[in-house]
Amino acid sequence: MIVCHCRVVTDRDVADAVQAGARSVAGVCRSTGAGRDCGACVFSLKRLVCEHGTTLVAPVPDVLPEVDVAAS
Ligand code: FES
């Protein structure tokens, strides 16, 4: 399944990156190239990294949509 459509990165690519030593969303992004364009895939990447039992450090892109915390 394609996780990052901008860079055509699959869930398998993410699993391989984690297995190869990526221990954070940032690491997976560096390794696969995912999450470096629109940022829409970052939450899916985060979920996949969590599923692989790794520790999250920080989301990568600075292009994430703004969230109105007061409205939620
Ligand atoms: S879908 Fe991953 S950066 Fe756009």
Atom of ligand 1 nearest to the CA of 63: 3
Into how many domains does the chain fold?
Answer: 1
Is 43 a domain residue? Answer: yes
Tens of pLDDT, residues 1-45? 999 999 999 999 999 999 999 989 999 999 999 999 999 999 999
Cβ of 22 less than 6 Å from ligand 1: no
Tens of pLDDT, residues 33-50? 999 999 999 999 999 999
**Å from CA of 25 to ligand 1 middle:** 13
Is 68 a domain residue? Answer: no
CATH number at residue 15: 1.10.10.1100
Looking up tokens 């860079």, which residue turns up?
A: 7
pTM higher than 0.75: no
Backbone angles phi, psi at 32, to 5 degrees: -105, -20
Q: Which residues constitute the domain of residue 18?
A: 2-61
Cβ atoms of residues 57 and 26 within 8 Å? yes
Is 70 a domain residue? Answer: no
